[in-house]
Amino acid sequence: MKYFVAVYQKLKNIYMSQSSMENDLPMICPSLRVYDNEELELLKPQSLLNDDQKKALSIIKKQNVAYELNSVPISQNFWDLNPNNSLFDIYRDILDKNNLKNLEENLDKVLDNKSTVLFDAKNSDTKEFKAYKKYRTLFEEAVNTITDHLMVLDGLDTEEEKSNWNDRLINLNNLKELAFSEWKVKGSKDSIEKELARINKSSDADLYLAMAQNAKHTFEAAEKTDVISNSSIHDINFIPYDFMENESGWNSMRIEKSELEGLHSEAKNSNENIPSEILSIDYDENMIQAVEADYSFVHLKRNWFNKNFMLSDYFEWKEPKKISDGQTISNDFKLPAFPKTMILIKNLKVILDPSIVSTSVSNNEQLVYFGPMVMKQQVFVNKNNNQRFLKAITNVKTIKSDQFNYLAKKTAIAGTQKAMVINGFTARPSVETEPSETLKTAANPSFAGKTNMGNLINTIKNLTPLNPVPHGASPVQPTPQPANPIKVPWGSWGPKFPTIPTPTPTPIPTPIPLPPAGAVVQFRVSDKINSDPIYKCAISIKGTNNNRIFEIESNEAGIINQLIPLGEYSIELRIDDYAVLNQSFSVTSAMPLNLEYKLQREEVKFKSFFLIGMICERMPRIPVN
């Protein structure tokens, strides 16, 4: 865990040296959220989505991720998702309980300031203002039609009905966009709203009224549809907006071992915004030589959120729970801080000592962790410099699977054992966990197995006995000693000792090779059209009648060999620019098995991002009237 903390500390230092503001609050994310490209892309405003199918999906599926990324921190030591404490709900509640009852009347008073754009000489609406109201009404009706259509979804049973429903939804969205365009062009939307903004800026009171009204109307629109999960409230403008499609905003870093040690010491000594429980996990990671990763600071912009109206002298808050005191981050305040910038990493590589044993990593009974990140069961070799390294699992489905949770608990328990017998030799890990810690990790899967990298390393170190046995030979048996008691003579150095029987040595059994627990399966992956091998294809294998799970990749020849235990399996093959392939296979005997898969080219992106931390903005002290 300590080198994972070091990576976070490095990114925190980079951010704070580049673009930090006074109220910025970097926080580590101990559970390390993993998001794939599709999940984050659906959060983008629909105007930035050029695929009608994605537009329809974004309305239905983006709620959960939006609530997660809007989670408000309740502890100064870390940030983590908490959908029950979302900025969306808190902000709406502040608007509801703020004293805005006379909002519309005050707006009418503001509009009494005569405007030639809005009113003619007879104090009637101008032709432009009438058109504005007309086309705004048509747009609202289009929104209401979509709302009614969304309510029908739960009552659909057949796939044909759902397909027709989805086609209808796409058509209604197009009509809504058309209505908005007509409102903008024929309804003089921009010029009318510009005039309203000019009037509202005539005084501080009007400015406050404009901010409060804009926020209130946004949430009223969401309440009106009664389908909050499908409203534009959950849209997030990302900066850089295209970080998912290309390398915009991404930078590479490599942290050598000496710097990792220094960064961990810095984090431990400062103890800022990192839980002490994480800092205390300080096991031996000597086999790690360096860490490489790409990182990006992605800013979150919400068109409905404006903290400034709460800072106005006209803002009134009379609830018992204060909004913020400008310092404390806790659940005692309604909005102590809010998330504003994601600290993302991808392409993580943990560079290992060349002597690491590949078979230990590929052990299908054990997961290997780098902090909370689970690594693939495969040692990779960089051809350019011959470095050996591990990659992180990026398949979100795998990480959320039942088999994964089972292995995490199993690994946590195995990591607490005092000794392990491997190939007839006892390997004693240098880190020993107390029973109470065993219960803690078993009860909390998010922290399960976090000392596993240390246990793996220490196990590898201790596998070789003092007198190594040649391959294929039996361990040397100790020379038998006489069974007769040894008489200890009387000497001038002390009294006569009683006779001490020499213990009879227990024979050490010769290890007998066990029959293979499965078969070596060769997976060959190639292009369906030209049969070219596909390099670095991610292969996810899950047992359907057992708890086995494997995450591996194909080599340059499109091939990977893996020992698979007997059983039934589902397999998923994923790589950029190809459609996902899902199939199944069985291992019924120890005979080698050759499996070949052909992938169909399709423009699909399967990038995954690790949310290692969040930059929150501490709210200033909110005055109370």
Cα 531 to Cα 71: distance, rounded to the nearest angstrom: 47
Query: pLDDT tens digits, residue range 447-471?
Result: 333 345 555 555 544 443 333 333 3
Quick one: pLDDT at residue 484? 41
Write b or e for each residue in 346-375: b if 16 or more Cβ atoms lie within 10 A of its Cβ, otherwise e.
Answer: bbbbbbbeeebeeebbbbbebbbbbbbbbb
CB-count burial class (<10 Å; 0-12, 13-18, 19+) for 473: exposed
Quick one: pLDDT at residue 498? 36
Structure tokens given for 341: 């910038």
Pairwise pLDDT comparison (278 vs 347), residue with the higher score: 347
Q: Can you give the pTM of this predicted structure? A: 0.69
Pairwise pLDDT comparison (24 vs 512), residue with the higher score: 24
pLDDT over 90 at 585, yes or no? yes
Per DSSP, the three-state class of 107 is helix
Quick one: pLDDT at residue 510? 52
Structure tokens given for 566: 């007997």
Quick one: pLDDT at residue 456? 54
Query: pLDDT tens digits, residue range 4-52?
Result: 889 999 999 999 988 778 889 999 988 888 888 888 888 888 777 777 7
What Rg value do the Cα atoms of the chain yield, rounded?
Answer: 32
Query: pLDDT tens digits, residue range 181-224?
Result: 999 899 888 888 888 777 665 555 666 666 676 766 666 665 55
pLDDT over 50 at 302, yes or no? yes
Quick one: pLDDT at residue 196? 77
Q: Which helix (H) or strand (E) holds 613?
A: strand 608-618
Residues 302-307 have a mean pLDDT of 84
Q: Which fold has domain 518-606?
A: Immunoglobulin-like (2.60.40)
Cross-sheet strand order for the sheet of 559-565: 559-565, 518-527, 593-599
